Amino acid sequence: MKIAELELRTINLPLVRPFRTSFGTQTAREVLMLKVTTGDGVVGWSECVALSEPVYSPEYVAGCLDEMKRFFIPALLSAPVLTVESVAPLLAGFLGSPMAKATLETALLDAQLRAENRSLADFLGANKSKIPCGVSVGIAPSIPQLIEEVAGYIKDGYKRIKLKIEPGWDIEPVAEVRRNWPEIPLQVDANQAYSRSDGPQLAKLDQFELLLIEQPLDEHDILGHAQLARQVRTPICLDESIVSLRAAEDALALKATTIINIKPGRVGGYLEAVRIHDLCLNEGIPVWCGGMIETGIGRAANVALAALPGFTLPGDTSASSRFFLRDITEPFVMHDGFLDVPNTVGIGRTPDMEFLNSITSYKESIGP
């Protein structure tokens, strides 16, 4: 494959409701987009799932943009032979930055599949035509407001509810949601908010028959998760800790997790995501697909991934309307709690260029 042009742009996509981070509240999602045009004129798209600030991972939008321009794109343009499979090896000498690397790999994969007249779902090995939708619910100002928000999602048809928890906001809100909806599949996400000494507190969640407790401890504390798993009955699920196939292998060997959340951007792309899926499928470990508030571009690729056989739990692949007033692509619309898996060429979505241009804050083209 020959690259004729790469176009980088950042957009600011308005959100349905404000998104809270430790740096404040955001009313729009800043997204780094990539468009690749091959020498044959085929176009591929992707997005970088890094947030504006390094609060979920060390990566952030401006940093990813700088790394791609300064290091990654020159490395790919100088390669004598470039394939989707060669992207990760070519960039392996640059440490870290899986989200930025995944952006390049995914855009090239989209272009390659479009040239082959093949869908991403087919390429990845999907065996489902639709996937169940779960929704992630943030920490609310009050329990009544939480109940009101959850009620809306259940009315919409979501198949699974995920509640964010932290010390001081855990047992009581979970108890109230479970009291109102005794049968709804329910899980919690701690986003690394607890410490090893919090095992007794987290064990109090066992009474609510949760699907899982997601990432309770620091992402580097694999041993702590293994110790915690022996203190609680609820399954421990790792998210931020799973940055590669090797990390997944180690976590399973140490019995630090019995469920894994696969986020393609976090592990360096869809090729590595499939390797982790295959490992877990062979080991009998359930997996599900997490979300990073993706636009329709990233959401389309995630839906295709979530259609693989090992994804047996509803993920965070919600409808476009969950986050955005208007998506940059044809929106994903939920029907009876499910999203249809795109079956057209590539990732199955392309941007509305008029709308995309209207929310673009930066654009730059780079060629050989």
Residue 248 token pair: 């997944």
Phi, psi of 131 (to 5 degrees): -130, 150
Contact, 61 vs 9, CB < 8 A?
no
58: buried, middle or exposed (CB in 10 Å: 19+, 13-18, 0-12)?
Answer: exposed
**Of these residues, 69, 255, 263, 363, which one is catalytic?**
263
- The answer to whether residue 363 is catalytic is no
- The answer to whether residue 101 is catalytic is no
The torsion angle over the Cα atoms of residues 356, 358, 360 and 365, rounded to 10 degrees, is: 70
**Of these residues, 35, 101, 162, 164, which one is catalytic?**
164
Contact, 12 vs 29, CB < 8 A?
yes
Residues 221, 254: Cα–Cα separation, whole Å = 12
Residues 364, 135: Cα–Cα separation, whole Å = 35
Angle at Cα 365 formed by Cα 243 and Cα 299, nearest 5°?
A: 40
Contact, 164 vs 189, CB < 8 A?
yes
Beta carbons within 8 Å of 287's beta carbon, 6+ residues apart = 259, 260, 261, 262, 276, 277, 280, 281, 310, 311, 312, 313
Residues 317, 145: Cα–Cα separation, whole Å = 23
The runs of H, that is alpha helices, within 189-286 are 199-203, 222-229, 245-253, 264-267, 270-283
Q: How many other β-carbons are positioned within 10 Å of the β-carbon of residue 182?
A: 10
First to last CA, the chain: 13
Positions marked catalytic = 164, 263
